[in-house]
Structure 1
Amino acid sequence: MDLIVMNPGIVIGPILQPTLNFSVGVVVELTKGKDPFMSKSYRFADVRDVSLAHIKALETPSANGRYIIDGPVIATLKDIEKVLREFVPYLCIGDDKNNEDIDLDLVTYKVSVEKVRSLGTEFIPTETSLRDTVFSLKEKCLM
């Protein structure tokens, strides 16, 4: 038996269920001006990318081992707040303390998504994932 493991990070994007899950709850907290992980940057994976990676792994005979599915781009709080303000302008998100520039060289870990890309997975841009998450939350009356 072959074992393939998919390890996604914070998964966002359109939701199917009528309730919040942990990952999308992070976006809700960010729209409230809170920083749930006390972090200056986040990596998000889109649920559609995670689903596609699972399918590609199933269909690719050479697939094996562990695959990290994490956003290839580090999104700073400043970047996230900019996108959220565009789609949720009536909310009071962020403040001056979160708008400090972050030195991305200080990020203590690096993530390689080349293995999951080798399956043919391309990543949806973080801005699109955040937008679609917000639209889905509004549609489900969860924000």
Structure 2
Amino acid sequence: MAPGPSNRVLLTGISGFLGGHIALALLHAGYEVRGSVRHLDKAEKVRRTLAAAGADVSRLDFVTLDLLSDAGWDEAMVGCHTLLHSASPFLIQTPRDPMDLIRPAVQGTERALNAALRAGVDRIILTSSMAAIAYGHPRRRTAAFGPKEWTDLEGRAVTPYQKSKTLAERRAWEIMDAAGRRHDLVAINPSIILGPLLDEDPGTSATIVQRLLSGSVPAAPNIALTIVDVRDVAAAHVAAIAAPEAGGRRFPMGAQTVSLLDVAGMLREDYPGRRLPRFGLPDWAVRLYALFDRDVRDNVGELSHPKTLDSSASIALLGRSLLSARHALLATAASLLQRGLA
């Protein structure tokens, strides 16, 4: 579908880090954008942020939607030809009850997709995650994870967040299969998303860079990060609207997998005055600390277990290579420092 005056996209989660970049890419591409926020008082801030980034916000309007409420979904879809469902719960601290993450992720997906189907949209694009692909598998696995693979929910050390993304995406495919419209759904499955901030909210992924720059990580656990640039992820969402070959497919996105210690090294090259970790932390020390910290405990499964993604489908969709992990990392750092956040 080419952009035009009647090509309005409903974008859920527009106030988030990725949602803002998707909105920016959509507006630059000529689409009309209807963004959903939980509270309308966020709308003006989003409008100012996108205008400051160079977007034509005359083609932007807002609706209030809640992942856990039926109110407003059908009205929000009126006049929209595409649903881009980016909203998803992501709590910085692991909840005591996993359903605090799983329930809104799954029910929000159900509400969004069912409303879109009732409205007869042409295409639905779901922001899923590497979390729905690459976890719960045997530790001996070294091959890259591709679009046909799913996180094993019965596997070792699967976190509530990984469960929420897996169950939400599986539910999306179930809904589309039941409607006989599987080929009208596209799932984008990014890894850790970094890149330039559009506002003063560092979000969740940028917190890793923020902590490194602040000197609060004296030694680096042996954890690898698969990184993708937010601008590539946003571009993939926009490309998926009009690409016939994208229908019915999943698109893993990860430019490179690098250790946390290597991430610190990349930052040190540009910021030599920062107190960045130079040494690794033994796995046994992390496991010991995890006995007293639930959030650390949830990430113990990542110790000495790097994962890579097969991003060839996303590269083909974009028609170019992905921006490097270093590119995304340094853009994040520059934004944090420019905004006084590190």
| TM-score normalised per structure 2 | 0.36
Match of 1:82 among 241, 259, 265: 265
> What is the deviation of 1:141?
0.9
Distance 2:229 2:222 in 1: 20
For 2:325, which of 126, 129, 136 is the aligned residue?
Answer: 126
Distance in 2 (alpha carbons) for counterparts of 1:110 and 1:70: 7
CA RMSD of aligned residues (A): 2.4
Relative to the length of structure 1, the TM-score reads: 0.81
Give 1:46 deviation, angstroms: 0.3
1:38 positional shift: 4.2
Q: Does 1:116 align with 2:314?
A: yes
Partner of 1:18 in structure 2?
200
1:78-110 C-alpha deviation (Å, 9 max, x unpaired): 321121112222221103225xxxxxxx74544
For 1:54 and 1:121, how far apart are their aligned partners in 2?
15
In structure 2, C-alpha distance between the alignment counterparts of 1:74 and 1:108, rounded to whole Å: 7
CA shift, 1:33, in A, is: 5.1
Match of 1:138 in 2: 337
User: Which letter does structure 1 place at the counterpart of 2:259?
Assistant: T
Where in structure 1 are there 5+ consecutive unaligned residues? Answer: 99-105
CA contact (8 A) 1:9 1:43 kept: yes
> Relative CO higher for 1 or 2, CA cutoff 8 Å, sep ≥ 6?
1
| Aligned partner of 2:243 among 52, 60, 75 | 60
Opposite residue 334 of structure 2, the aligned amino acid is F
Contact 2:192 2:226 in 1 (8 A): yes
Letter in 1 for 2:252: I
- 1:49-98 CA-to-partner distances (Å, cap 9, x unmatched) read 10111111112111122111122x22123321121112222221103225
- What residue identity is the alignment partner of 2:280? K
Is the contact made by 1:53 and 1:121 (CA closer than 8 Å) also made in structure 2?
no
- CA deviations on 1:103-132 (whole Å, 9 max, x unpaired) are xxx745442111111212421111121111
| Distance in 2 between residues matched to 1:86 and 1:33, nearest whole Å | 18
How far, CA to CA, are the matches of 1:122 and 1:58 in structure 2? 19
Aligned to 1:102: none
Change (3 A) 1:107 1:50: same
With over 3 angstroms needed to count, the CA separation of the structure-2 counterparts of 1:12 and 1:42, relative to structure 1, is same
- Structure 2 residue 238 is matched with structure 1 residue 46: no
Deviates more, 1:56-65 or 1:9-18: 56-65
Q: 1:110 to 1:9 in 2, by over 3 A?
A: closer
Bigger radius of gyration: 2
Segments ≥4 residues shifted beyond 3 Å = 106-110
Letter in structure 2 aligned against 1:53: A
**Closer/same/farther in 2, CA of residues 53 and 112 from structure 1, 3 Å limit:** same
TM-superposed CA distance for 1:8, in Å, is: 1.3
* Residue identity in the other structure for 1:112: D
Q: CA deviation at 1:6?
A: 1.1
